[in-house]
Structure 1
Amino acid sequence: MQFVFRLCLMLIFLGLTQAGLCQNKYALIIGIGKYKFWDKISSDNDVPYIKAALIKQGFPDANISILMDEQATIFGINQSFKNLVKRVHSGDVVFIHVSAHGEQIEDNNKDEVDGLDESIVSYDAPKPGSTGNYAKEQNYYFRDDQFGIFLNQLRNKLGQKGDVVVFLDACHSGSGVRGLHKVRGNQPPLVSATFKQPETFSASATGVFAEAEKNNNNSLASYVLVSGSLAEERNTESVYPDGKEGGSLSIALTKVLDNLKPATTYRSLYADIVVDLNEMVPDQHPVIEGNGLDRELFGGKYISQKPYFEIEAIDKDQLFVKGGTVLGLDSGAKISLYIAGTKNPNQSDTLATGTIVAAEPFRSLVKLNKIPDLLAPAAGWVFLTEPVYKQKHVSIGFFKQAENGATKFSVEEMKNYQQIIREISQAEIGEIPELLISKGITQDSLIMASNGFVFGYFNAGDGNELKKIFQRYCQYKFLQQLELKSSQVKLDVKLLPYVNGKIVKQSNDKKNDNGILTCKVGDALVVQAKNNGDEPVYINILDLQPDGIINSIFPNTNTNPIITPEELKIEPGEEKIFSNFVITIGKPTGLEVFKIFASLTKIDMERIAQRTIGSKGNFSALEKLIDQSYDISNRGIIAPGNPEGSVFNIPFRIIDKTER
């Protein structure tokens, strides 16, 4: 009897455990091809292909909801999302596919920089302007804001282990029909008679997930959105293998899902889709966004993705890379070429290797060791193996202090300084100087031409002192311009006002036209850092003052209490406010920069900033990069290995107390 009882308990426990581990897959497919007023498109053909592909990936037939044509009224679309939200549970996977006309419509809540919402055209939506009644017409369009609200409801209900995937095979702009195939969304924007588009704006690629991005925290399900084209592009239909027309994104998706490789992440899935789309519709550029890009498909685990660069164009053994000098792709840098979707180059076969032979700030040219077997630029990714950071020559001139516009230097003094400048490898005498040598009463000085700040004083004619100050300027400039981005590091850093002993999280901080925080001398700030990634992150901060002085903020052994590198670790999902370290704003006034370093391994920028003796040889690649910057004026080049981590700026402007 006891044995039977124990057996029953075991079976009950096992059933509960399996129920807890169960992850269900649900899908909503919306296909609108036969419109009441809009032109017919081939969305009807997309639906069965998408459904078959999902069933092959383990989505039960009973869990796939389909909304087609006359069912997809604005009421029907809203109701289908409400039903989906009710049906799912924590940890489930939700796949949403929309194949329809898209339309831009006047923004009704002022959250779009271009003044236009993106929307899905419902079955019975009138064409823009056809009734002359904008207020009535706009009610038939499923706006991106409403889409985002439903998606947030799904993410909240699915919870941290859930997964939401959206594919939009629609278009929101463009006019006319191109080629032999239909174009989705070929109408002008739907706007009221009083609509006035902002004079200056930068259009975003999508906008559907605007609401989702506002609530991007670790307690919600991950999300990924793939759109078939940029907002300003037309979405052209193509042909399935059996000859039927359909959406180009839908065709590419079904093809990739039918030939899925093991451990495919959404990022690598997208890379394969881009290759197929490039063959079908070369002028159409898909877009991916979301926080689940490096997660295996349909609720899988997160995979570490090594940073890479996309290819702009290929010409035999040369290729143009979408990345340049600011990211370490300067002349002489080494790269390796792999197929798109490669997660870790150390575990994959190399297609070719190469060297950067020419570079601009955001674009570089690579000479490969052989012609790669690539069908299209999108089929390959470039991994940087040996970055190079070069210091461009700095022009030095003379400060014109005399009333007649001349300098106060004698001819002999001028000749002496010109000779010293020629001896500095990274300096030159130029007509538009970046630095100015100014004559003083007891000492001369080196001045920053852009803001008039004195970068350093030195004894008149002392070339060694001048070279040291120039070296410090080169390092300052290098640090200011340095940017690194790692897909593994997702750290959000903010400066919060500290007023009357309290942290002000929500404030009306004064900002200038460029959106830069403005602080007065005497104001106080604290640092807030939130780790939105899946790995622990260490944060360090260097302060780059307007006059070129470099101080360590984090870590800091000169404060009471001290802040050690170990204390700067931020766990996944953790939001840390460093309330014990209040930063008081002091002079000089001008544009100041906090340089943020975020690394998966412990780092200590203070010992590098202070040039601590005896710490050589123990640097990480990121630390070594900063350490070598002290000698950049002599060598003009840094090749530290491949530093992994993110480096970015938080600029803020300092003004006097009396300024407004």
Structure 2
Amino acid sequence: MTEGVLRKRFGFQDDDFIIIKDAQATHTGIEKAFKALIERVQPDDFVYIYYSGHGSQTADLNSDEPSDKDQTWVSYGARTGRDGIDDYDVLDDEINAWLAKLYDKTKQVVFVSDSCHSATVSRAVERGEVLIRAVKDDKRPHILGKLTYTRLTTPHGIRVGAARDHESAIEKPREDDQYYGLFTWHWVHNLQQAQTVDTWDDVFKRTYAQLTTKRGIVQQPQMEGRLVLEDDFTPLPTTIPVYRIHEEKVKILVGSIAGVTKGSVYRLYKPQHPNPQKLPSLTIEMVTPFVSYGKPNSEDAFQTGDLVIEESHVYSLSPIKVYLEADFPDGKDKALLQAIQSAFQPKPDGTLSFPAYMLTDEPSHADLRLYLLRPLLEDGQLVREKPEDALPKSFPEQPPELWILTPEQLLLYKNLRISFDNLTKGIKLLQDNLNKLARIRELKALQSPRGSTLPVTVQTFILSPDNSCQKGDNCVWTPESDGSWRWHRKNGPYSLPEMNGRKLNKGDFLTFTLDNKSEQDYYCYLINITPSGAIYSIFPGVWEGMESAHLNAGQKRELVEEVVLPMIEVGEDTIKVITTSKSPIDVSLLVQSPFVHGGLKGNLNPLEQLLVNVVYGQRGSVSTEDKWATEQVTVEVE
């Protein structure tokens, strides 16, 4: 199946394959195959690695696994009394080291493992109508287990696992009495159906939904990384998989925590459709923290595994009042002012370009002020009537700009000066930026259910530049935004209440410790809302899978070697902590890019870009007993 789709969809030829099966796939055989691949690959080649077989675990002897277990591939002949390394499984540490050498040559690597990451029963043991791809733990100390291996610390390519570390991968019988991996069956089918503009994320979400809806099967695939199925990356909307259709209702595994609201409309995602407005849609009628239900606009319009995107959003909070003004309201800017006012009115179909906002005639009632200016720049400085004036002077011959201001007439953020020399582009930029502001308002307003408190203790450390601090546990060697490295002094720890309202200096870093002192496992997320309007998921990192957000009961995780949050922008910076007990959240629905002006996106330095995280799909079965909580703090960067 896999070979066929690689030939048909990716153009692989006979000479492009390295295939080892059965007796060839010993530990030594697998190692030789990887080394041959590493030797053969040229810069920027596309590489697809697929493993189908037994999976197991063994004791972690080099202390690089939080679970104290190494995941393994059970190679041919392992555990049968063979001599040397061929009697032992292939460690995940070895696989990561081989992948690291591949990534040195090309980032275009897709790695798929259809094997168990747990070990409760063997492959030959039946569970109902399915077989399990698992072998019991190898209790022997692995002869390579104490070695130090190259660790994958940066995001490369795509890594897909058919099951979580504690789960089994399932096999199903075919008509010829042979068995196939259930994950592989759906994955290959969705690859065959994929369009060139689809992402691997889209293929994964379809596969995940189809696999997890099967009764009696507890297998939840994992994925990390991001690539587009074509050579050049194209920004695409965040998709949500349809999980189930029941009694004329469509169920999706995202809820209020991820920003879904009652009345919002989602449309079937088919990017190459000639008329997307003709595609089926659904209107959300019920929202819970983790699950939402929508009513489709036509019967049999959706099926499990379909992808939908949000078309219109209904804001649950009261409208944000906006006061619109200009320096030349009766002259040069009269027509432009009227056009902007009209954009806030309902369209012929009743929809709104600015659904979270309403105009007001009373500036004293305004939450925001939109001011149409025509500023002049001289010697790099804006010309003001008086030096103490908050706003610059307008000149009729200068191009118009719309400034988004606080009620006190202070610029909300430096990028919120929108060029309006082109009306259509200006309205679009205003719409994008105001929608981002509204999304930030919604996220900040998200509160824990009544009576719920944060079950995970979050402690914050402040890393301040200090070249005199070069010895000791509190001295940290940290990368700067320009790529250089510098010594920082670690101060803290500080609790979340102690951090709230604290003043920090530009150039400081924050890092965190997560301590789950409860008797229950939780997923924990750290979300950063920046002064520039960007929302980042700073933990888990972009290079990690969904399960990396998982904290076992009693587990303490120090993030100083994983996450440092740079304070690179002056203004209000918010860190929001969200915990869930059973259902991870799709934080890709929370993440957004910075404010834009003049049609150009705000620039992200390399370190800031590393903080942008896109997480794929949902994990875990949704339960009415699922608990969640949130807390946030705001710091001021000077």
TM-score using structure 1 length: 0.49
Q: Which residue of 1 aligns with 2:396?
A: none
Matched-pair contact (CA < 8 Å) for 1:311–1:321:
yes
1:23-43 deviations in Å (ceiling 9; x for gaps)? xxxxxxxxxxxxxxxxxxxxx
Q: 2:12 aligns with which of 59, 84, 89?
A: 59
Q: Which residue of 1 aligns with 2:91?
A: 143
CA distance in 2, matches of 1:64, 1:516: 57
CA distance in 1, matches of 2:498, 2:221: 31
Is structure 2 residue 181 aligned with structure 1 residue 247? Answer: yes
Q: Which residue of 2 aligns with 1:292?
A: 226
Q: 1:116 aligns with which of 29, 53, 69?
A: 69
Is structure 2 residue 269 aligned with structure 1 residue 324? Answer: no
Cα distance, 1:351–1:279 mapped onto 2, change above 3 Å:
farther
Q: Which residue of 2 aligns with 1:498?
A: 465
Q: CA deviation at 1:137?
A: 9.0
Is structure 2 residue 233 aligned with structure 1 residue 302? Answer: yes
Q: 2:268 aligns with which of 331, 338, 341?
A: 338
Q: Which residue of 1 aligns with 2:170?
A: 236
Q: 2:21 aligns with which of 53, 68, 72?
A: 68
Q: Which amino acid aligns with 1:112?
A: E
Q: 1:97 aligns with which of 50, 56, 75?
A: 50
SS at match of 2:47: strand
SS at match of 1:233: coil
Q: 2:287 aligns with which of 355, 359, 365?
A: 359
Q: CA deviation at 1:110?
A: 2.3
Percentage identity across paired residues of the two chains: 19
CA distance in 1, matches of 2:310, 2:11: 34
CA distance in 1, matches of 2:570, 2:279: 51
CA distance in 2, matches of 1:500, 1:519: 27
Matched-pair contact (CA < 8 Å) for 1:592–1:651:
yes
Is structure 2 residue 113 aligned with structure 1 residue 171? Answer: no
Q: 1:182 aligns with which of 99, 119, 131?
A: 131
Matched-pair contact (CA < 8 Å) for 2:530–2:574:
no
Cα distance, 1:650–1:116 mapped onto 2, change above 3 Å:
farther
CA distance in 1, matches of 2:597, 2:446: 17
CA distance in 1, matches of 2:497, 2:85: 40
Q: CA deviation at 1:89?
A: 0.7
Is structure 2 residue 2 aligned with structure 1 residue 50? Answer: yes
Q: CA deviation at 1:267?
A: 2.3
Cα distance, 1:511–1:283 mapped onto 2, change above 3 Å:
farther
Cα distance, 1:476–1:172 mapped onto 2, change above 3 Å:
closer
- Which has more radius of gyration? 1
SS at match of 1:67: coil
SS at match of 2:217: coil
Q: CA deviation at 1:228?
A: 1.9
CA distance in 1, matches of 2:234, 2:275: 13
Q: Which residue of 1 aligns with 2:454?
A: none
CA distance in 1, matches of 2:86, 2:489: 34
Cα distance, 1:253–1:239 mapped onto 2, change above 3 Å:
farther
Is structure 2 residue 531 aligned with structure 1 residue 540? Answer: yes
Cα distance, 1:78–1:192 mapped onto 2, change above 3 Å:
closer
Matched-pair contact (CA < 8 Å) for 2:281–2:296:
yes
CA distance in 2, matches of 1:82, 1:114: 29
Q: CA deviation at 1:343?
A: 5.0
More deviation in 231-240 or 60-69? 231-240
Q: Which amino acid aligns with 1:302?
A: F
Q: Which residue of 1 aligns with 2:593?
A: 599
Q: CA deviation at 1:265?
A: 2.8
Q: 2:306 aligns with which of 371, 379, 385?
A: 379
SS at match of 1:269: helix
Q: Which residue of 1 aligns with 2:103?
A: 155
Q: Which residue of 2 aligns with 1:480?
A: 444
Cα distance, 1:291–1:228 mapped onto 2, change above 3 Å:
closer
Q: Which amino acid aligns with 1:52?
A: G
Matched-pair contact (CA < 8 Å) for 1:539–1:597:
no
CA distance in 1, matches of 2:490, 2:496: 10
Q: CA deviation at 1:320?
A: 3.1
Cα distance, 1:375–1:653 mapped onto 2, change above 3 Å:
closer
Q: Which amino acid aligns with 1:314?
A: I
Matched-pair contact (CA < 8 Å) for 2:241–2:252:
yes
CA distance in 2, matches of 1:260, 1:308: 14
Q: CA deviation at 1:366?
A: 2.5
Cα distance, 1:521–1:117 mapped onto 2, change above 3 Å:
same
Q: CA deviation at 1:223?
A: 0.9
Q: Tell me the matched-pair count.
A: 392
CA distance in 1, matches of 2:265, 2:273: 11
Q: Which amino acid aligns with 2:170?
A: T
Q: Which amino acid aligns with 1:163?
A: Q
Matched-pair contact (CA < 8 Å) for 1:495–1:525:
no
Matched-pair contact (CA < 8 Å) for 1:120–1:142:
yes
Q: CA deviation at 1:77?
A: 1.4
Q: CA deviation at 1:523?
A: 6.8
Unaligned ranges ≥5, structure 2 = 143-148, 319-438, 448-460, 470-475, 479-486, 511-528, 535-563, 578-589, 602-629
SS at match of 1:65: coil
Q: Which residue of 2 aligns with 1:215?
A: 154
SS at match of 2:19: strand
Q: CA deviation at 1:122?
A: 1.2
1:588-616 deviations in Å (ceiling 9; x for gaps)? xxx97489995254279xxxxxxxxxxxx
CA distance in 2, matches of 1:95, 1:477: 42
Q: Which residue of 2 aligns with 1:88?
A: 41
Q: Which residue of 1 aligns with 2:201?
A: 267
CA distance in 2, matches of 1:245, 1:110: 36
CA distance in 1, matches of 2:255, 2:213: 27
SS at match of 1:314: strand
Q: CA deviation at 1:576?
A: 12
CA distance in 2, matches of 1:124, 1:117: 19
Q: Which residue of 2 aligns with 1:226?
A: 160
